[in-house]
Structure 1
Amino acid sequence: MRAITPKILALTALLASAAPASLAAQEAAMQPESDVTIQSTSLPPLEQLAAGPEVSGMISARKGDQIQVTTADGTPMLIAVTGATDI
């Protein structure tokens, strides 16, 4: 059978008291002071927009409707992809 020494008891008490202190140090979530309304016009149809530049390179990343193309000189380019984009 093991005995609980004063040293172990003191260490346990120290660890138990540190946990609530770290939780109390966290900041409360900020509440917005007022509502925000954003108004915007939609983009014109793609046929009315100017054609974008021709880019050649390797597709190095993709996220949602965007791809990153790394060109021959190593420059990364972020490109938005739509249904009309030719790859």
Structure 2
Amino acid sequence: MIYCQFTDLDGACEVHVVDDRYRDGWTTKVTETPNNRRDAGRTFSHATPGECADNLERLVTEGFVVPQYAIDNLRGEQSMLEQHFPSKLAEMRGQS
């Protein structure tokens, strides 16, 4: 599932976020930016959607454009896992 993707036309999103849980978890790729922000061009992998949402919020504080709906959708997925699949969530975190 793609939560958000780069947009060159309107600058509405400077990250690409995908659910790749069957390989690496949730992956965030940060666009290269002309003003050389610290995390520009980096790729992050997270074990859970909540960790990915935390990282997106951190990127926002660094000045990257991240749509709020991407963070909200990741938080919703985290909540669903906590409520209905706590053992699967523990496994994702490496706590099984």
TM-score bracket for the superposition, by shorter chain length: under 0.3
Q: TM-score, normalised by structure 1?
A: 0.20
* Greater share of helix: 2
Higher RCO structure, 1 or 2 (CA under 8 Å, sep 6+): 2
